[in-house]
Structures are given as C-alpha cells and as structure tokens.
Amino acid sequence: MSPRETVIIDGKAEAAALRAKVASEARRAAVRPHLAIILVGEDPASHVYVRNKMAAAAEADFRVSLLRLPADVAEARLHREIVARSEAAEIDGILLQLPLPDHLDRRAALSLIAPGKDVDGLTPVNAGLLAQGVAGGFAPCTPLGCVHLAKAAHRSLEGMEALVVGRSELVGRPLAALLLREDCTVTAAHSRSRDLAGLVGRAELLFVAAGVAELVRGSWVREGATVVDVGIHPRVVGGERRLVGDVARGEVLGRAGALTPVPGGVGPMTVAYLLRNLLEAALRR
C-alpha cells in the first residue's frame, strides 16, 4: 500500500483568519478592548510569548498595558497589582503570564483575577464552568486553538474517538472538557497510563500535550488519524536551531490523515484565541 498524503493543517493561516475576524468584529461593535499583562521575572520563553501577544493585540488595534515585576517580587505586591486590574474600569482582560517564580503560588494569584476579565480561562470559576459543561465562561486559549485546528480537518467532531495525552490544568484537562462539549468520546492519558501506544492506536483524533519531545511514534498512530501536536521543544539539529513537538513528525507523515506542524500549528492559534476571548470580555462588560 502506498503511503497516504498527510494534510498539514496550517495553524498560521487559521490564526491569521481568526485574528482578522476578531479585529473586524471589534471595529463593527466600536470597541477597543484593553488587555493588561503581568509578567514576573526573566524567563526567556515567557518574554517571547508576551511579545507575540502584544504584537497581535497591536495589529488588531487593541490596547495593551504591560506590567513587569522582578523575579523576587513579594507575593503581596503581585496580589495588589492583580486586584487593582480586576477592579479597574478601563481594563477588559487580564493575563498573568505563567510560569511564576517558585516562591509565588500560582493558584492564589489566578484566583484574584475577576472571572469576567479572565481571558486565559484559568480562574477556578471559569475552569469550573468548563468542567460542568456550562456555557458562558472563558476557556483557555491553547485548548480552544486545538479544537479549532481539529475542526479545520473535520466539519463535525461528533462521536469521534479522541485521545488527549496530558492532563495539565493549562492544556490537557480543559481540552478534554472542550472535546466532550463537541460530543467526542474522550480518553485522557497521562504519565501513569498503561499502554499509551495502544490508546494512541484507537484514536481518530489525537491531541498530544505531554511536554516530552517526540513521545508519540509514527507506528502507534491510527491510519488516517488527525494529529494535533501541542509540544514545543527547542533542538539543535546539525548545528541548526529548530523546534520539535511531542510527536515524531517524520514518522507520522504518510500515516496520519492530517497533522499540525511545529512551529506554525497550535502556537499561533493560542494567541488568536487570546484576542477572541479579550473581545468577548469587552463586549460582555
């Protein structure tokens, strides 16, 4: 049997289209949403993500203000800054860039964000609404982007066998909840799951957010499956810097029906959904 052609799902194009749609909806509604970003410390990856988010917001003509706090900031100061933004009438959305330095309690900080301004969908209120399957909250941006990319390959996900590898608060767990909302049959795999290869082999829709470079091998993947690769890992190959995902891309090509690339897959969608959630927050206020 000759290998099948694997469709590469173009996350950059999907994200550009979504950003343009959000910007035009904002113009039509005559709102100019204001995003407040809080960045603590000097984590280089976080600085890159914040720059990308600010550039996308500027491109949509949204307002952004950035507060940079030192890595050794006192917890009380961080909490004060979050509460001030939660109460500020001119701010529509708040993004606390993660990870935080070790001495800061992420949950305590996130819970101070007003749920109506929680454009990252990480407060207990919004996570709870998503877990309960209740509409009207904010879902996290990366999982929203993953579902969007799967829908770029399939008009409806209803009834499909979906596997999510990873159960983190930021990606795997909310993604499983969103897929239930799409009427998928959802399996959640994690570091303690037995026979990951066997679980992967059953999935028509495979989402991998394990944070382990090239964890999923091509031979595990079901023929024709749609594969969404959330992982991002910098690698030096032959003296050249590049990014690899949680899926062994070279092995999956010719076997999967569709695959998201790294980079240019989930990453740009995350930023686009931040703008979508921000506009939604501004319109609701």
Query: Residue type for 100, please?
Result: L
Residue 176 interacts with ligand NAD (CB under 6 A): yes or no = no
> Looking at 116, 172, 174, 257, which residue binds ligand NAD (CB under 6 A)?
172
Tell which residue, 24, 22, 11, 6, has the closest CA to residue 230.
Answer: 11
Would strands 233-237 and 240-244 be described as parallel, antiparallel, or unpaired? antiparallel
Query: Cβ closer to ligand NAD: 116 or 231?
Result: 231
Of the residues 196, 258, 272, 282, which one makes contact with ligand NAD according to CB under 6 A: 196
Total Cβ atoms within 10 A of residue 28: 8
List binders of ligand NAD among 230-259 (CB under 6 A): 230-232
**Active-site residue set:** 53, 97, 120
Residue 133 beta carbon to ligand NAD: minimum distance, rounded to whole angstroms: 21
Comparing CA positions, the residue from 21, 29, 32, 27 lying closest to residue 91 is 32
67 versus 232: smaller Cβ distance to ligand NAD: 232
| Three-class DSSP labels, 181-249 | HCCCEEEEECCCCCCHHHHHHHCCEEEECCCCCCCECHHHCCCCCEEEECCCEEEEECCEEEEECCECH
Q: Is 270 in the site for ligand NAD (CB under 6 A)?
A: yes
Among 26-34, 59-67, 84-92, 163-171, the segment contacting ligand NAD (CB under 6 A):
163-171
List residues near ligand NAD by CB under 6 A. Answer: 142, 165-168, 170-172, 189-191, 193, 196, 209-212, 215, 230-232, 266-267, 270
